[in-house]
Structure 1
Amino acid sequence: MDIKEIQNLIKFVAKSGASEVKLEMEDVKITIRTGSAKTETTIVQAAPMASMPQTAPAPVAAQPITETTEPVKSEASDESNYVTVKSPIIGTFYRKPAPDKPNFVEVGTSISAGDTVCVIEAMKLFNEIESEVSGTIVKVLVDDSSPVEFDQPLFLVDPS
């Protein structure tokens, strides 16, 4: 069995919707597993016996074939004119200074450079995060009391 036949078999199995196919021949064992967005192929060829002539093809190692599709982002063009306020540290994001207090900002709130927009708790220290831009909050990108990473977008601000 040559590479082209194996590739055609992989394509056929992927199109058929089968989740797993095993093919065993005299000197070749092939297992093809398909998932939601990925196809994995394992090919095992037995080494020729000592009494057999060395006419068997060399072992073939197949790379797993991965097919991925990314959704088209229509929001990217809408958000291109907004400024993103990002997290300067790793920690837990809080929208208000205390549980009984109101949120620092809401969607539609006008902010100035230097205004506190949230608090991030890191190692029992509460760090006030200040806006570096003036404008209007368009979108809050993180849920309250959720963990955030360094440089993770927190808010979208319309600077106009």
Structure 2
Amino acid sequence: MDIKEIQNLIKFVAKSGATEVKLEMDDFKITIKTTAEGAETTTTFVQQVPVSAALPQAAAAQPVAPTVPAATENNTSDDSKYITIKSPIIGTFYRKPAPDKPAFVEVGASIGKGDVVCVIEAMKLFNEIESEISGKIVKVLVDDSSPVEFDQPLFLVDPS
């Protein structure tokens, strides 16, 4: 629930004439109390409910994040001569057509225009991503089974 939705909820409660509303979801609790006059003295309490399973994963993910940008900053000058294949859609990136099949491309593989380089799953549909350039795969920038955003770099290709 974002801040806009919380603000709309406060306005709704103030107009309804209710003096207290409690909303409890999986990961947070909200209590809104108003006086009889209306929305002049609206008090909102937002409380995050700790999720014990998510905390170790978040702690493990934090050390990884700072090291990745540092590595990319060092290689920026080297990567400038390469062409980037970017994600045309939002979804989940897969290097293989199926778990028991080999990857579409590996580092060092030569690709041609129109060759399938990966699959991105979006809304239960598997979309084959084809290369728009010919060259040699230099680097795979995304881990298998990772979520990807629109226009996120997936591969570096040496066009020479």
Task: Using structure 1 for the length normalisation, give the TM-score.
Answer: 0.55
Query: Moved runs in structure 1, 4+ residues, more than 6 A?
Result: none
Q: Tell me whether 1:86 sits opposite 2:98 in the alignment.
A: no
Corresponding residue of 2:118: 118
Corresponding residue of 1:133: 133
User: Letter of the aligned partner of 1:149 in structure 2?
Assistant: E
Identity of aligned residues (%): 80
Corresponding residue of 1:149: 149
Residues 3-46 of structure 1 show CA distances to partners (whole Å, capped at 9, x for unaligned) of: xxxxxxxxxxxxxxxxxxxxxxxxxxxxxxxxxxxxxxxxxxxx
Corresponding residue of 1:48: none
User: Letter of the aligned partner of 2:126 in structure 1?
Assistant: F
Partners of 1:127 and 1:121 in 2: CA distance: 6
Partners of 1:117 and 1:131 in 2: CA distance: 6
Q: Aligned-pair distance for 1:73?
A: 2.5
- The 5 A counterparts of 1:39-58 are none
Partners of 1:122 and 1:147 in 2: CA distance: 10
Number of corresponding residues: 91
Unaligned segments of structure 1, at least 5 residues: 1-69
User: Letter of the aligned partner of 1:146 in structure 2?
Assistant: S
Q: Secondary structure at the match of 1:128?
A: strand
Q: Secondary structure at the match of 1:78?
A: helix
User: Letter of the aligned partner of 2:137 in structure 1?
Assistant: I
Corresponding residue of 1:105: 105
Partners of 1:156 and 1:73 in 2: CA distance: 15
Partners of 1:73 and 1:147 in 2: CA distance: 22
Give the alignment's Cα RMSD to 1 decimal: 1.5
Partners of 1:73 and 1:113 in 2: CA distance: 29
Q: Aligned-pair distance for 1:95?
A: 0.2
Q: Aligned-pair distance for 1:75?
A: 1.0
Partners of 1:73 and 1:142 in 2: CA distance: 16
Q: Pick the structure with greater CA Rg.
A: 1
User: Letter of the aligned partner of 2:96 in structure 1?
Assistant: K
